[in-house]
């Protein structure tokens, strides 16, 4: 059985240094996730089993190549983890495969010049994943456009109370078409059938991976000071609950506990998978 993980965290968006839509907690998130996976024996922290991409190294090409490395040669029973902490966004769907007319994206370091990574890109890579591979995709990023309206309000708050939202506006050549259709519902990246609103873990028959999202499709994922360190709220509670419970906890139970812990932050995580994978013990 192979165990592998690709962990991506981006604080510093291009250009390198001050100037991009930078964040502060994403590299800390990657460290927390790497330590958690290693301590619990889910994925050993060795160069051959765990790849970490942060800041300027987390380019569009590097992330996609890393994802190909993650799933290459995958077979039934393997444990694979893709984790991303950074900005999320949306662009207009040009392929016609989205009911809401939008492709959800994650934003690599060089998204402004190289482009974002769409849900379509991930689906194409996952199309050939063999049955029985245990792939968990964990995203601590925003999937809706509401976050930018809240940033100005939070900017004046003291540092210990301030919250940064992990959403970045798409370029005008992509974003204009979203603004022209404000009535379209939003949906999370790699979340087929999502419609928003409060709900339990979503069963998606035939889904060949498990998706953990830091917030619902109509919410934003935030980061802020926790014990003196800037972290993503979802990642912090995900790792805290998992380390406390160990790998005997089921995905459904882990999701429920993280959801309860996140209530005060105003975001609700989302878990999607088959009925069997949601009921299984985590990372099995």
pLDDT digits (tens, 9 = 90+) for 94-105: 444 444 445 678
Residue 102: strand pairing partners: 92
User: What pLDDT is stored for residue 182 in this prediction?
Assistant: 44
Question: pLDDT category, 280, cuts 50, 70, 90?
Answer: very high
pLDDT in tens, 206-225: 889 999 988 876 677 889 99
Choice among 87, 143, 209, 237 that is catalytic: 87
Q: Which domains does the chain have, with CATH numbers?
A: 3-279 (3.40.50.1460)
Question: pLDDT category, 238, cuts 50, 70, 90?
Answer: very high
- Known active-site residue 215: no
pLDDT in tens, 127-161: 989 999 999 999 998 753 222 223 333 333 444 44
Contact between 269 and 191 (Cβ < 8 Å): no
Average pLDDT over residues 113-131: 91
Choice among 26, 107, 142, 215 that is catalytic: 142
User: What pLDDT is stored for residue 18 in this prediction?
Assistant: 80
**Does the pLDDT at position 55 exceed 90?**
yes
Q: Angle 60-71/119-126 helices, nearest 10 degrees?
A: 30
Question: Among 35-44, 134-143, 163-172, which is the least confidently predicted range?
Answer: 163-172
**φ, ψ of residue 163 in degrees (nearest 5):** -130, 135
- Known active-site residue 87: yes
Contact between 187 and 104 (Cβ < 8 Å): yes
Average pLDDT value over all residues in the chain? 81
User: What pLDDT is stored for residue 146 in this prediction?
Assistant: 27
């Amino acid at each position: 059985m192979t165990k592998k993980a690709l962990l991506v965290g981006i604080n510093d968006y291009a250009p390198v240094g001050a100037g991009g839509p930078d964040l502060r907690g994403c590299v800390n998130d990657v460290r927390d996730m790497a330590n958690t996976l290693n301590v619990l024996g889910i994925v050993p922290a060795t160069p051959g089993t765990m790849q970490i991409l942060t800041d300027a190294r987390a380019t569009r090409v590097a992330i996609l190549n890393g994802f190909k490395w993650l799933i290459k040669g995958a077979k039934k029973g393997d444990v694979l983890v893709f984790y991303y902490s950074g900005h999320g966004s949306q662009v207009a769907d040009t392929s016609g495969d989205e009911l809401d007319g939008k492709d959800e994206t994650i934003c690599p370091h060089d998204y402004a010049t190289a482009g974002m990574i769409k849900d379509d890109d991930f689906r194409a890579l996952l199309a050939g994943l063999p049955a029985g591979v245990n792939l968990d995709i964990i995203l601590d990023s925003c999937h809706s456009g509401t976050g930018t309206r809240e940033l100005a309000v939070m900017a004046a708050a003291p540092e210990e109370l301030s919250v940064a939202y992990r959403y970045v506006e798409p370029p005008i050549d992509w974003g204009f078409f979203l603004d022209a259709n404000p009535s379209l519902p939003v949906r999370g990246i790699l979340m087929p059938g999502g419609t928003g609103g409060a709900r339990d873990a979503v069963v998606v028959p035939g889904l060949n991976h498990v998706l953990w999202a830091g917030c619902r499709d109509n919410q934003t994922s935030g980061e802020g000071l926790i014990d003196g360190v800037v972290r993503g709220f979802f990642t912090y509670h995900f790792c805290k609950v998992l380390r406390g419970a160990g790998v005997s906890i089921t995905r459904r139970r882990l999701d429920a506990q993280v959801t309860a812990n996140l209530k005060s932050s105003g975001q609700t995580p989302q878990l999607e998978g088959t009925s069997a994978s949601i009921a299984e013990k985590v990372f099995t």
